[in-house]
């Protein structure tokens, strides 16, 4: 474990990241990680639990973090056990060792964070009964999600960070993006991710969590995730893991796991969460071949 444990005792939020470094693009991925974790260091609460998913040993990762001046706690051993399992391992480590922590975030390696990006999100969670909230994000194409608008994006990390600090506005919008901040107690109540169902390395893990949140909030509330537009983060959404072989096998495993965990009606709830998503309605039909006459 790298240093950072004592600092976390005084913090309200701990960040989690499955750190996936590909052998085929090692330097590129490390550069991304340096930008993400380096920018996070400019925030007051920046302690992070990393799950090492390859291709560095823990000793190599620890040494690299030291050269970058980055403090983090390392879990895993360099093996890619999948997104859901890695996230869950981070959650369980925090629940066990830092039970007083009020909030957890899920962050990615292809992000850039303005200072204290999470502060407006914590204020939003404090004044509402929401279990989780995301900021707005700016993608590598300059898209503002979830608004669907576009901006001209600077081509330097410094310029991007300055732009992010100019984007905050009042209000929220329905939508779900990463990073996301959770109330730690509610995340623990729903159990986080369940790798017994999400056995594939990627696919549908976000939807599994969203459905758990909707059931926690009660289906009668028609709860949907929200983005707080008072905070903005750069997320390249480069689909790093789409380069993995057999990715569609993993998607299929998790699709079936999602059905076995929540059933066909869970898929219908997901369609509603995503504003009538035809994709989830198709999954509902797929797993209910005799659904004719059933209202959707």
Query: DSSP letters along 36-99, please?
Result: HHHHHTTSSS--EEEEE-SSS-HHHHHHHHHHHT---EEEE-S----HHHHHHHHHHHHHHH-T
Asked whether the beta carbons of 144 and 70 are under 8 A apart, the reply is no
Helix (H) or strand (E) holding 232, with range, is: strand 226-235
Predicted confidence at residue 6, as pLDDT, reads: 47
Predicted confidence at residue 175, as pLDDT, reads: 97
Helical residues (DSSP H) of the chain, grouped into ranges: 5-8, 26-40, 58-68, 83-97, 119-127, 157-164, 184-190, 205-217, 247-273, 278-286
- In tens, the pLDDT along 54-69 reads 889 999 999 999 999 9
Characterize the bridge pairing of strands 73-76 and 48-52: parallel
Predicted confidence at residue 267, as pLDDT, reads: 97
Predicted confidence at residue 108, as pLDDT, reads: 96
User: Domain 5-286 in CATH: superfamily?
Assistant: Spore Coat Polysaccharide Biosynthesis Protein SpsA; Chain A (3.90.550.10)
Asked whether the beta carbons of 26 and 243 are under 8 A apart, the reply is no
- In tens, the pLDDT along 86-105 reads 999 999 999 999 999 999 99
- In tens, the pLDDT along 115-138 reads 999 999 999 999 999 999 999 999
Which residues on adjacent β-strands are paired with residue 105?
15, 181
Question: How far is it, in rounded angstroms, from Cα 189 to Cα 216?
Answer: 8
Asked if residue 294 has pLDDT above 70, the reply is no
**Sign of the Cα pseudo-torsion (25, 30, 33, 39, in order):** negative
Question: How far is it, in rounded angstroms, from Cα 147 to Cα 278?
Answer: 20
Domain ranges across the chain: 5-286
**pTM exceeding 0.85:** yes
């Amino acid at each position: 474990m790298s240093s950072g444990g004592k600092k976390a005792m005084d913090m309200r939020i701990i960040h989690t990241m499955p750190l996936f470094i590909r052998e085929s693009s090692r330097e590129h991925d490390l550069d991304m990680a340096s930008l993400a974790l380096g920018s996070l260091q400019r925030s007051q609460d920046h302690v992070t639990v990393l799950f090492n998913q390859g291709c560095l040993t823990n000793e190599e990762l620890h040494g690299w973090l030291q050269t970058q001046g980055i403090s983090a706690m390392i879990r895993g051993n360099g093996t890619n056990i999948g997104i859901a399992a890695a996230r869950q391992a981070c959650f369980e480590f925090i629940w066990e060792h830092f039970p007083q922590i009020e909030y957890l975030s899920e962050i990615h390696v292809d992000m850039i964070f303005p200072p204290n990006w999470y502060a407006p999100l914590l204020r939003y969670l404090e004044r509402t009964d929401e279990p989780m909230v995301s900021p707005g994000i700016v993608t590598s194409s300059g898209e503002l999600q979830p608004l669907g608008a576009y901006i001209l994006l600077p081509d330097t990390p410094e310029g991007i960070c300055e732009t992010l600090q100019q984007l905050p506005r009042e209000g929220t919008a329905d939508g779900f993006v990463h990073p996301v901040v959770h109330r730690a107690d509610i995340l623990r109540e729903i159990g986080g991710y369940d790798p017994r169902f999400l056995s594939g390395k990627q696919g549908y893990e976000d939807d599994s969590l969203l459905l758990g949140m909707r059931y926690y909030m009660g289906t009668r509330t028609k709860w949907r995730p929200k983005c707080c537009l008072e905070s903005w983060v750069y997320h390249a959404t480069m689909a790093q893991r789409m380069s993995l072989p057999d990715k569609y096998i993993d998607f299929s495993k998790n699709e079936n796991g999602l059905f076995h965990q929540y059933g066909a009606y869970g898929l219908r709830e997901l369609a509603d969460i995503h504003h009538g998503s035809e994709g989830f309605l198709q999954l509902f039909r797929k797993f209910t071949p005799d659904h004719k006459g059933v209202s959707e």
